[in-house]
Amino acid sequence: MVREIKPDVVAVELDKDRYNQLLNQNQEADISKPVTGDPTQDMLNQIALLLKNFGQQTGAGVGQEMLAAIEEGRAHGSKIALVDRPIQATMYAISQVPLEEIYKLTYSVPETEEDIANIGVQGLLAMLKDDAKVDELLAEFRKEFPRLTEALIDQRDDYVASALHAILNDVEGKIVAVLGAGHIEGVTRILKERLRSDAAG
């Protein structure tokens, strides 16, 4: 998409810390033993380990699509915008989630790993490309983990949409935004609302 459009700006769902971490994969924290005694950190380590294992199965590491977009954008002279909320802010939001919900998600990770194994990597990738399936998965996640959904998805959707809105007001050329599947619907909805408000104002 970046190669085809040759945008003025490539906006990626990364913050500065996550971007630097992806550039220095060998310096990532050891998550092979995800139990630290801190419930929030244990949950995040479990999720990170799940994503890492999935990445190994697909042959593409976590975040590599973001780095590929950045590399392609730079090859075409595009400006690069890191539009995700700083990880520290997300960690703080997660720390406000009731422990019961944190533990519930942590203990559900093995079941998720089993579901991925049953579906198969190709089946899961196909499902993630299906907007209706992604919406269904998000609805289920929101029902089971409402406060975590707010911290991990909703608040970040609002932050990313605000960043893209600012870029749209500052750049006359084309923009390509690279987002995870779980953020596309929310970011698009919020951004459209703000653009409609701009037009009305």
Confidence of residue 31 (pLDDT cuts 50, 70, 90): very low
Predicted structure pTM score: 0.85
Residue 170 has pLDDT above 70, yes or no: yes
The predicted structure's pLDDT at residue 119 = 77
**Nearest C-alpha neighbor of 59 from the set 110, 115, 122:** 122
Q: Which of 72, 157, 149, 65 is nearest to 105 (CA)?
A: 149
Alpha-carbon dihedral angle through residues 63, 174, 82, 122, given to the nearest 10 degrees? -10
pLDDT at residue 169, as a whole number: 93
Q: Which two tokens stand for residue 83?
A: 């539009």
* Residue in 181, 188, 176, 186 with CA at minimum distance from that of residue 68: 176
pLDDT tens profile 77-123: 999 999 999 999 999 999 999 999 999 998 888 777 777 777 777 78
Domains in the chain: boundaries = 2-200
pLDDT higher than 90, residue 68: yes
Across the chain, mean pLDDT equals 86
